[in-house]
Structure 1
């Protein structure tokens, strides 16, 4: 018997049902600690791109004067530093949210404090995200090379179809590469003795031949994602743990050959 997506999603909803604190509240705290906090921090940082857009569209100053006055080394350094620090912070927080969803799936009674699990394993949280990003970039160069070949063929033959095929191949390749490393964090959470590279290798081996199953599962949430737009994103507070628990079920099935057991009711 293979992976059963409908059952996995049902188990995800069942794990959320009756959980305390409610997964929507945990997701709200996670949102406040990531997106909202990030926007607040960046509001205090001067964004030269916004300033340049304003002066270019609303004033008659020469372009070269605007660029030299706004894009100064100090402004760019501050912007890049803050973007880097926030990105590292988001990596650590996402590690904690994954930990929360895995524990929620296993009905271990997780709470808000699990959002901070990444800070207790900061080196591992930063290491796995950095290496995954690096490997995705390096493997992505292959997709870029294939895309360039398609473009050159399209130019030589005067065919727009070849260029379109190049774009499609680039997108598909990058999606495939990203899915190879989706389970690395779960391996780190389950195996404290495991190194970052070993977790990445385990994820790659586990995802071999089952990438399509996880992709189809992700696409099955597309309707909910579209619907969340009409709720001003409020639905995402329910959707985020739902997706996270379903992914945790996928991991548990592919690694252990079963779903997390439901606690017995006496």
Structure 2
């Protein structure tokens, strides 16, 4: 049986590593978050004027009021604008998320290993754009397909619940207990999906540690090292719920520190998985 660090020890290693590196950690995470978040914001803002113009015209010509139904043509235009905005946001996100996630992973793995780290590292993924793009694309595809499979299970469960509920109601049976059981099963499905998807969680770290590794190989290696550790990682994530809630209280400002803490702990978890916990180990990342 492998001798892994406890969750308390992993969090302690993350705090020790972040000591003196909080500025780089917080700013790196913030910049990546802004870049990924600003794309849909800009796209939606660019369409806001058109949306306002459509509603103004509908109000002026009387087609938008509580007495009249909305013009189907204008509704189609609004729907088309929303669809195109979402599609453009998705495509741009798909193009840049891999490179930025790779760079951010490098920042936190460097911090954890006591190496020199700087904010510029968040853009290092663009130097290996093909590899990082393919990793992200594969992750999106696999997570979507597995999510679809879980979704089918949820739909089947809902249908069983609906027809079962109708049958019970017809027989005069109370549905209170059935509803509780239904909720518990749905929750269990959601948790099982989260645990299952954790198999891919170390992919970027593996790509960082292995020069020239293929995108699919990195995913497969993540699956290999996470085998038997997916629940442990899920439980580790749960230990941050209190910190996350605390970070939400002062207008979410606390999350600026909580999220880097979580990411540094993830890096500690990865090093624990591959047996790199010794302080004198050469942790230099590939350039």
If the TM-score is normalised by the length of the shorter chain, which range does it land in?
Answer: 0.7 to 0.9
- 1:214 corresponding residue in structure 2: 233
Quick one: structure 1 residues 82 and 25, their matched pair in 2 at CA, closer, same or farther if it must change by over 3 Å? closer
Asked if structure 2 preserves the Cα contact closer than 8 Å seen for 1:143 and 1:169, the reply is: no
- 1:149 corresponding residue in structure 2: 156
**TM-score, normalising length from structure 1?**
0.84
CA distance in 1, matches of 2:218, 2:53: 44
* 2:199 is the alignment partner of 1:180: yes
Q: What does the per-residue CA deviation read over 1:187-233, in whole Å, with 9 as the maximum and x for residues that have no partner?
A: 10110221111111111111111111111111111111111112222
Give the CA deviation at 1:6.
Answer: 0.9
Quick one: structure 1 residues 261 and 67, their matched pair in 2 at CA, closer, same or farther if it must change by over 3 Å? same
Q: Where does structure 1 lack aligned partners over 5 or more consecutive residues?
A: none
Match of 1:125 among 132, 135, 157: 132
**TM-score, normalising length from structure 2?**
0.78
Worse-matched range after superposition: 120-129 or 135-144:
135-144
Q: What does the per-residue CA deviation read over 1:224-260, in whole Å, with 9 as the maximum and x for residues that have no partner?
A: 11111122222222222211111011111112x2325
Secondary structure of 1:110's aligned partner: coil
Q: What does the per-residue CA deviation read over 1:120-151, in whole Å, with 9 as the maximum and x for residues that have no partner?
A: 11112111111112112222233233323333
Quick one: structure 1 residues 88 and 52, their matched pair in 2 at CA, closer, same or farther if it must change by over 3 Å? farther
CA distance in 1, matches of 2:149, 2:34: 38
* 2:42 is the alignment partner of 1:41: yes
Q: Where does structure 2 lack aligned partners over 5 or more consecutive residues?
A: 166-177, 282-287
CA distance in 2, matches of 1:20, 1:170: 37
Asked if structure 2 preserves the Cα contact closer than 8 Å seen for 1:104 and 1:110, the reply is: yes
- 2:78 corresponding residue in structure 1: 70
Secondary structure of 1:45's aligned partner: helix
What's the Cα RMSD here? 3.0
Q: What does the per-residue CA deviation read over 1:159-203, in whole Å, with 9 as the maximum and x for residues that have no partner?
A: 545643552243123212321100111110110221111111111
Secondary structure of 2:142's aligned partner: helix
Asked if structure 2 preserves the Cα contact closer than 8 Å seen for 1:179 and 1:207, the reply is: yes
* 2:25 is the alignment partner of 1:18: no
CA distance in 2, matches of 1:221, 1:75: 35
Quick one: structure 1 residues 208 and 54, their matched pair in 2 at CA, closer, same or farther if it must change by over 3 Å? farther
Quick one: structure 1 residues 20 and 232, their matched pair in 2 at CA, closer, same or farther if it must change by over 3 Å? closer
Q: What does the per-residue CA deviation read over 1:6-33, in whole Å, with 9 as the maximum and x for residues that have no partner?
A: 1111111111112385422333333443
Quick one: structure 1 residues 82 and 32, their matched pair in 2 at CA, closer, same or farther if it must change by over 3 Å? closer
- 1:100 corresponding residue in structure 2: 107
